[in-house]
């Protein structure tokens, strides 16, 4: 059981780095409408943080904290959020996925034309969709790597 | 004989398509690009025009991409879960 676990140095550094990588992932997701990146890229970064924990601690130990069922639920909630935002656009504005938040107080500030520093409180529904896709990618990639590590570690 | 005829017909179509293809490096109609560059910041309130295309103008495409991801992950979980339970 504990032979999957790497040495104390590796596990300590992995635990130290994990929150920073996750914060960076959240930053890339949240600034998807301002800087390069977005839901897919930030989600891949967050999934790689969980993969780092799997490498350091072994799949079983990570499975106790975050099983693939939980990660799948996280992913499905992201997918539902995406569709829900699309349907809200259908109800509140013209069509499915129409940007109904432009000009509203939440995420609705319209930036001036041309290059400008940008602000977080803009983008309409784009930040919501980025969060949804980010949740999907974090949950999906992490659950796939976790289940593959569990299946690969099985030796009889 | 039949195979040869089918081969010739398909080769003719292929060469015709290759002959009619858009010349490499030549400028294309730019009305769509101009529209997006002019109006993306006003219509989607986002500075990153690439994101506004991916998530707003082509939102259906991103929804399909997310569905592809979901299907791939569901397939991987279905195939590998049996190993875990045995």
pLDDT on residue A1 = 47
Residues in chain A within 8 Å Cβ distance of B56? 97, 99, 124-126
Q: Which of B73, B64, B48 is nearest to A97 (CA)?
A: B64
pLDDT exceeds cutoff 50 at B38 = yes
Once rounded to an integer, what is the mean pLDDT over residues B33-41? 90
Burial of residue A85 (CB within 10 Å: 0-12, 13-18, 19+) is buried
Confidence of residue B72 (pLDDT cuts 50, 70, 90): very high
Q: Please state which of the ranges A27-36, A101-110, B47-56, B75-84 shows the lowest mean pLDDT.
A: B75-84
pLDDT per residue rounded down to tens, chain A (156 residues): 456 788 999 999 999 999 999 999 999 999 999 988 888 999 999 999 999 999 999 888 888 888 888 898 999 999 999 999 999 988 988 888 888 888 888 888 888 888 888 888 888 889 999 999 999 999 999 999 998 888 876 655
Average pLDDT of chain B is 87
**How many domains does chain B contain in total?**
1
Quote the minimal CA–CA distance from B1 to chain A in Å: 50
Residues A109-139 as b/e (b if ≥16 CB within 10 A, e otherwise) read bbbeeeeeebeeebbbbbbbbbbbbbbbbbb
Which one of B46, B59, B62 has the shortest CB-CB distance to A33? Answer: B46
Q: Which of A106, A17, A79 is nearest to A25 (CA)?
A: A17
At B19-29, the pLDDT tens digits run 888 888 888 88
pLDDT on residue B82 = 60
pLDDT on residue A103 = 83
Binding-site residues on chain B for chain A (CB distance < 8 A): 41-48, 50-52, 54-56, 59-60, 62-63, 65-67, 69-70, 72-73, 76-77, 80-81, 83-84
Structural domain span for residue B44: 2-85
Confidence of residue B12 (pLDDT cuts 50, 70, 90): very high
């Amino acid at each position: 059981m504990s032979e999957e676990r790497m040495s104390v140095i590796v596990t300590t550094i992995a635990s130290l780095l994990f929150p920073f990588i996750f914060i960076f992932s959240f930053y890339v997701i949240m600034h998807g409408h301002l800087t390069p990146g977005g839901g897919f890229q930030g989600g891949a970064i967050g999934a790689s943080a969980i993969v780092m924990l799997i490498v350091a601690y072994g799949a079983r130990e990570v499975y106790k904290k975050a099983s693939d069922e939980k990660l799948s639920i996280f992913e499905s909630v992201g997918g539902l959020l995406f569709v829900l935002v699309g349907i809200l656009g259908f109800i509140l504005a013209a069509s499915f996925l129409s940007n109904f938040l432009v000009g509203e107080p939440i995420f609705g500030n319209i930036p001036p034309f041309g290059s400008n520093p940008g602000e977080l409180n803009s983008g309409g529904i784009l930040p919501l969709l980025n969060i949804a896709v980010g949740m999907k990618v974090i949950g999906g990639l992490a659950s796939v790597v976790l289940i593959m590590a569990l299946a690969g570690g099985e030796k009889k | 004989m039949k195979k040869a005829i089918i081969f010739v017909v398909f080769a003719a179509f292929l060469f015709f398509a290759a002959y009619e293809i858009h010349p490499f490096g030549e400028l294309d109609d730019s009305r769509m690009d101009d529209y997006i560059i002019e109006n993306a910041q006003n219509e989607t309130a986002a500075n990153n025009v690439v994101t506004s295309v991916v998530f707003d103008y082509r939102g259906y495409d991103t929804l399909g991409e997310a569905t592809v991801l979901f299907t791939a992950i569901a397939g991987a979980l279905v195939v590998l879960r049996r190993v875990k339970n045995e």
